[in-house]
Structure 1
Amino acid sequence: MVNTTYQVQGMTCGHCVSAVTAEVGGIAGVHDVQVDLATGRVTVDSDQPLDTEVVRAAVDEAGYNLVDA
């Protein structure tokens, strides 16, 4: 199991959290997504390391921006 934290910009409410959770949670191999609205941190548990561009695409689909590390 791999635990990775990403920074996401633009989330302001519970709907934002739900949208990001659903999109990122739909990535193959993802088991859990935790979103901290106050900090913009999205923590993902997955089978193996995820391709950042796949995560970026999911976050974009939800309507938000993945911050480059």
Structure 2
Amino acid sequence: MNNVHYQVSGLAGSESKTKLNNALDKIEGVHKVEVDLARGTVEVQFNNPATGEEIKRCIEHTGYKLDSN
């Protein structure tokens, strides 16, 4: 099981959490998505064929910006 953790700008309210969960759940291989609104983080557990890069692109296409940290 692989795990990625991102700092994400623009997360506000349960709508953001739902939007990201729904988008990431569509990626084959994603097992668990945890969005922490208070910390502004997204953590994803996944296996092949999903990749960290694909997850990153999905977050950005959903309208959020990854913090470079």
Give the TM-score taking structure 2 as reference length. 0.81
Partner residue, 1:50: 51
Looking at structure 2, the residues matched to 66 and 26 of structure 1 have their Cα atoms a distance apart, in angstroms, of 20
Structure 1 pair 6/13, CA: closer, same or farther in 2 (3 Å)?
A: same
Root-mean-square deviation over aligned CA pairs: 1.7
Looking at structure 2, the residues matched to 3 and 68 of structure 1 have their Cα atoms a distance apart, in angstroms, of 18
Partner residue, 2:17: 17
Partner residue, 2:31: 31
| Residues 54-69 of structure 1: pairs in structure 2 closer than 5 A | 54-69=54-69
Structure 2 gaps of 5+ residues are none
Give the TM-score taking structure 1 as reference length. 0.81
| Offset, 1:58 | 1.2
Looking at structure 2, the residues matched to 57 and 34 of structure 1 have their Cα atoms a distance apart, in angstroms, of 17
Runs of 4+ residues deviating >4 angstroms: none
Superposed CA deviations along residues 14-66 of structure 1, whole A, max 9, x for unmatched, are: 000110111122222101100000111111010147232x2232112322112
Q: Determine what percentage of the aligned residue pairs are the same residue.
A: 31
